[in-house]
């Protein structure tokens, strides 16, 4: 937090937690806060003229290179239809496989029963790193443990979309309750994800995640963000909510009364309840107590008498594939191990691609923690492997180049073969030779929530008329209003192009085409618009 000036000042209890211990900032999602800071740092360091760090984008790693001693000495990647090699030790960070629904996928092999579910994962989550590891004899672990999260957000006009937004677990942490189609609670909202999902299967959909005023006030940035995206709805009163659900308002009154009373009894007599509680002890909460994992922790409860006049933020939720606990097996140094349990020299992994870190069901917040912890462990041990006794601690900020130390041409430099490594399969060629000023556009800072970032890449050569960064007006209305606004929106064509051809558009003056790739990790937050005067019919995305 200190090194990257991160705001992770708020502490919350999430599902399955026996104590509040997950950090986030007052605004934005924690993953966004963490990864943007890391991306920005590496981008700055990559501007050095000595090539200390180099970023290669739009590339797909396909194979690990091994030497005769079975050490990993590099990888093969494909970019723009051409194959390249990169030499040196490898740290795999390719994520999980929760979005691969092909018949050859790890999901189809290990969890065919989940193939019908939607997912919160981006289309890049296809388990490539696991497959590349398996191909060179790396050991895998726990591939059958795939987490189904209870709170995938259903967009009412696209109920069957295969990719869903996720309702952050913190929404339940601040006091969100889950109601069935009849307006009744049926589970401990702060139980583990597998438990809450299991109870949803037994009850009647649609399920609603409901935040009263106190709860939503505590996490208002998120609520407005989801509302702006059309996956959450603001109700001026509980009476309006009951009407929309098609139930009598008194049902909501009774549900809230019972919940409130249970919370008060729990406060007065923590061990006197009738039912078993999660993770231990007793609960007074009948609705969840009967499931055997009753509720013990309450936050922002309201009485039934408040309900009909109380404003609510409400989302329809459904179980979604969310996280892969399994992956490549690692040791304490984050080295990938082989089938004999021995570390494979020169091969490390970190993040979701690594298996066995979380047991059979990861708790909320622990993935980002795991990415950071094992990311650092892997980085340290990989550096030791490369540098031996020459390793010394370095402050990243000191690596940021001064103006005189910067590369003349921002953007990618030629891949440099690693010392002692064999020559690349093919001489790297300069890709993307645009006739239009794509380079300039790629370097254009885009404002998202007031912070500049690079989020847009142009595919192919397009006759670009103008690039219009949308800053304040969009940031204010996009996801920030009480209701989704109609003057701006996020356009995401369905099907295989879903993450490739989407764009924010605003106002009638702008046209959008599918010739734009918004960089996946940033895509929901990159605001801007390209005005393209003519489609390029040679481009796969324009056709």
Ligand X SMILES: Cc1cc2nc3c(=O)[nH]c(=O)nc-3n(C[C@H](O)[C@H](O)[C@H](O)COP(=O)(O)OP(=O)(O)OC[C@H]3O[C@@H](n4cnc5c(N)ncnc54)[C@H](O)[C@@H]3O)c2cc1C
Contact between 61 and ligand X by CB under 6 A: the answer reads yes
Contact between 329 and ligand X by CB under 6 A: the answer reads no
Q: Where do the DSSP E strands lie in 154-258?
A: 165-166, 177-179, 207-211, 233-235
Q: Is 172 a catalytic residue?
A: yes
β-pair type (312-324, 282-283): unpaired
Q: Which residues contact 389 (CB under 8 A, 6 or more apart)?
A: none
- Which residue do the tokens 């940031």 mark? 475
* Measured distance between the N- and C-terminal CA atoms of the chain, rounded to whole angstroms: 45
Residues 523-542 interacting with ligand X (rule: CB under 6 A): none
Provide the 8-state DSSP code for 424.
P
CB of 255 to ligand X, least distance (A): 28
- Of 337, 342, 330, 418, the closest CA to residue 377 belongs to 330
Q: Residue 139 or residue 322: which is nearer to ligand X going by CB? A: 322
Residues 11-30 interacting with ligand X (rule: CB under 6 A): 30
| Choices 53-61, 203-211, 399-407, 424-432 (CB under 6 A): range interacting with ligand X | 53-61
Q: Which two tokens stand for residue 274?
A: 């009738």
Q: Which residues contact 444 (CB under 8 A, 6 or more apart)?
A: 454, 456, 467, 469, 528
Provide the 8-state DSSP code for 80.
T
CB of 360 to ligand X, least distance (A): 16
Residues 88-117 interacting with ligand X (rule: CB under 6 A): 93-95
The 117-156 contact track toward ligand X, x by CB under 6 A, reads ---xx--xx--x----------------------------
Strand partners, 209: 178, 315
DSSP three-state, residue 523: helix
β-pair type (22-24, 516-518): unpaired
- Rule CB under 6 A: choose which of 365, 479, 484, 528 binds ligand X: 365
Contact between 351 and ligand X by CB under 6 A: the answer reads yes
CB of 1 to ligand X, least distance (A): 15
- Rule CB under 6 A: choose which of 371, 502, 530, 532 binds ligand X: 371
Q: Residue 30 or residue 506: which is nearer to ligand X going by CB? A: 30
Which residue's beta carbon is nearest to the bound ligand X? 351
The answer to whether residues 176 and 211 touch, using CB atoms and an 8 Å cutoff, is yes
CB of 169 to ligand X, least distance (A): 7
Task: Give the span between the Cα atoms of 145 and 147, in whole angstroms.
Answer: 6
In the set 24, 28, 87, 149, the catalytic residue is 149
Task: Report, as residue numbers or ranges, the catalytic residues.
Answer: 149, 172
Binding site for ligand X (CB under 6 A): 30-31, 59-61, 93-95, 120-121, 124-125, 128, 166, 168, 323, 351-353, 364-368, 371, 520-521
């Amino acid at each position: 937090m200190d090194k990257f000036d991160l705001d992770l000042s708020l502490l919350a209890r999430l599902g399955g937690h026996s104590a509040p211990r997950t950090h986030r900032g007052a605004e934005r999602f924690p993953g966004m806060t963490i990864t943007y800071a890391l991306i920005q740092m590496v981008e700055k360091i990559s501007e050095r003229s000595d090539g200390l760090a180099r970023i290669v984008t739009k590339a797909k790693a396909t194979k690990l290179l091994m030497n005769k001693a079975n050490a990993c000495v590099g990888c093969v990647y494909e970019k723009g239809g051409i194959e390249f090699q990169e030499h040196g030790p490898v740290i795999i960070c390719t994520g999980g496989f929760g979005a691969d629904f092909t018949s050859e996928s790890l999901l189809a092999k290990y969890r065919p029963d989940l193939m019908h579910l939607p997912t919160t994962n981006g289309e890049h989550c296809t388990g490539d790193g696991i497959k590349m590891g398996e191909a060179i004899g790396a050991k895998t672990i726990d591939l059958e443990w795939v987490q189904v999260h209870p709170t995938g957000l259903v967009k009412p006009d696209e109920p069957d979309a295969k990719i869903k937004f996720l309702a952050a677990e913190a929404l339940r942490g601040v006091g969100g309750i889950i109601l069935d189609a009849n307006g009744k609670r049926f589970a401990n909202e702060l139980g583990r994800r597998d438990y809450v999902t299991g109870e949803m299967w037994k009850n009647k959909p649609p399920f609603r995640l409901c935040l009263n005023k106190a709860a939503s006030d505590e996490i208002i940035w998120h609520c407005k963000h989801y509302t702006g995206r059309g996956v959450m709805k603001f109700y001026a009163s509980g009476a309006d909510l009951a009407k929309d659900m098609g139930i009598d308002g008194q049902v909501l009154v009774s549900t809230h009364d019972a919940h409130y009373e249970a919370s008060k009894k729990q406060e007065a007599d923590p061990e006197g309840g009738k039912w078993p509680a999660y993770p231990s002890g007793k609960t007074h909460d009948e609705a969840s107590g009967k499931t055997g994992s009753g509720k013990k922790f309450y936050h922002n409860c309201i009485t039934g008498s408040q309900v009909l006049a109380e404003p609510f933020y409400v989302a329809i939720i459904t179980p979604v594939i969310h996280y892969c606990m399994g992956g490549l097996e690692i040791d304490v140094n984050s080295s990938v191990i082989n089938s004999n349990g021995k570390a494979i020299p020169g091969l490390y992994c970190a993040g979701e691609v690594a298996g066995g870190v979380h047991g059979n069901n990861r708790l909320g917040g622990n993935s980002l923690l795991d990415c950071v912890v094992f990311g650092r462990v892997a980085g340290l041990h990989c550096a030791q492997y490369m540098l031996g006794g020459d390793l010394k601690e370095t402050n990243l900020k000191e690596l940021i180049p001064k103006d005189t130390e910067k590369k003349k041409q921002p953007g990618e430099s030629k891949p440099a073969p690693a010392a002692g490594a064999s020559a690349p399969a093919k001489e790297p060629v300069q890709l993307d030779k645009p006739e239009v000023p794509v380079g300039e556009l790629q370097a254009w800072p885009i404002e998202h929530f007031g912070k500049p970032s690079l989020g847009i890449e142009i595919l192919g050569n397009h006759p670009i008329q103008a690039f219009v960064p949308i800053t304040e007006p969009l940031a204010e209305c996009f996801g920030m209003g009480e209701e989704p606004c109609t003057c701006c929106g996020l356009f995401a064509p369905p099907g295989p192009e879903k993450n490739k051809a989407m764009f924010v558009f605003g106002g009638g003056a702008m046209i959008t085409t599918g010739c734009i790739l918004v960089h996946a990790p940033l895509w929901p937050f990159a605001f801007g618009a390209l005005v393209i005067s003519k489609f390029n019919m040679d481009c796969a995305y324009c056709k």
